[in-house]
A and B are shown apart, each in its own frame.
Chain A
């Protein structure tokens, strides 16, 4: 560690004003603050600085994603063994998934960070840390058999169109990871839905053993009522995008986010509440099998939990006001279930509903703030009258 610090101090002048590599300043800065806590001291104004800067925040989210990631790797292997009708040891299964998932993560980070660094250099900004999380989220929300060049293209699209055109981290309207997924979903639908993409090998022509179906529970619920047990869906032994299947692993992540105060528990809670309420309403008016499935199934199927915990809570694109968060989360849950059930052509309603509410979040905030202003004005007027 010390040697590293010494080395950084030695090469630092090269990157500062007047140095040889001044043009690479932001790249150097990014690496230095990534490795060490920044030693910046405020010289005027407020002197209170939180030790948790944006890099630590982002790393915390990545840590929260680790359970879902590890489980996703294991599940990739597990679903593969199911499809070929063999049973492997735990490590074999995990290692198989690891080999399959790792390239997607590498591609996502290399492409995304490459673009981020290029933009930061070009605009003389600091390199933004936002992509640390996005780069991990993207592999977790795609099917394991998605071709890598599609991941690269979607990542590039998400970073450039979803983020950089708005001004970079903190300015984006839509969640970049979901932008990438939406891009894939609409651009290459045959690789993002159906019953072959979710399990490794089926796309390449492997014929699964009898009785095995690679369809996700969401796809099954629309066609006929043949869902896996609630236990399987909660634990995540089901086909699906890499990181979204296990509600348990996601809840561990949620606990990390809530305890460290990084994710808003209000949004998570209200999203689940919204989904549950909408599920119950649909149950009450059920006319087809999909509308009849128990409301709590919606919370453990598909990407609902993953979206609620890791996507809806994105501090940039979510509502900012406390009451706004409740409304924002609740409506995400409502719309997700609504889209799922009433339009089975779009099984992943969660993605669409979060993107929709991302667009509405500023409006919600606006009215919450305005309502507060009006209430206070009224109070002030009453106070003035009674004087």
Chain B
């Protein structure tokens, strides 16, 4: 680190963009189409989705930070192994914490917390960003991408829980008296509980996003 370069403010415009870009035009789920698998699996209800989003934010942020700190010391040929060790350690840490403090949610998430290791977003950000940037921007990039992923997860989970179970965060939103069993007219949508609907909802989000932001549309 040379001392003659001018010190960049901690939250310069450039650094802030690292946080905000992944929320919209560089969103890892809707634009890069990464991490779809877990987006389908954990979004039946809002609570697990939020926990999952937080876990991914923590893992991407710290994995980016740690790998970025070690980036000059990692031999290029074995870097994937080293990155995996870092990510795996963080995921196990997150998993243990979830088991200790939110056991029921941890049970609902089951293997998907462990599978954060294989989430393409994490490896993608490490390879594409952390290996070539300083620790602090890498950390922000990790948080930003985790947030972008979490945002989609929460939107999808919100609709799936609302229409699939009639609840939000476990609290009943659609009154019991609306249901046919109680003489009403309403019925929960069973398709919302099934994984294909998550895929369709992600597709709809992509559709809405692209019709609002036309530079995302491919030119062919």
Contact = CB atoms under 8 A, between A and B. Distances in A.
Interface string A322-335: 00000000000000
A186 B194 contact: yes
B191 interface: yes
The range of chain B's interface size is: 10 to 19
B108 interface: no
A187 B185 contact: no
Given A147-B185, A149-B185, A165-B207, A187 B200 contact: no
A13 interface: no
Contacts of B177: none
Given A161-B200, A165-B203, A165-B207, A186 B191 contact: yes
Nearest to A147: B185
A179 to B, nearest CB: 11
B190 A186 contact: yes
Contacts of B190: 186-189
A183 interface: yes
A183 B191 contact: yes
A191 interface: yes
B187 interface: yes
Interface of A is mostly: helix
A150 interface: yes
Interface residues of A, number: 12
B189 A188 contact: yes
Interface string B163-204: 000000000000000001000010101111010000010011
A205 to B, nearest CB: 11
Contacts of B189: 187-188
Interface in A179-201: 183, 186-191
Contacts of B200: 161
Contacts of A189: 190
Contacts of A147: 180, 185, 187
Contacts of B192: 187
Interface string B200-213: 10011001000000
Contacts of B185: 147, 149
Nearest to B181: A190
Nearest to B163: A187
Interface of B: 180, 185, 187, 189-192, 194, 200, 203-204, 207
5 contacts: A147-B185, A186-B194, A187-B189, A188-B190, A189-B190
Given A150-B187, A165-B207, A188-B190, 19 more contacts: A147-B180, A147-B185, A147-B187, A149-B185, A161-B200, A161-B203, A161-B204, A165-B203, A183-B191, A186-B190, A186-B191, A186-B194, A187-B189, A187-B191, A187-B192, A188-B187, A188-B189, A190-B187, A191-B187
> When A and B form their complex, which 8 residue pairs have the shortest distance between CB atoms, in order from nearest?
A187-B191, A186-B191, A187-B189, A187-B190, A188-B187, A189-B190, A186-B190, A186-B194
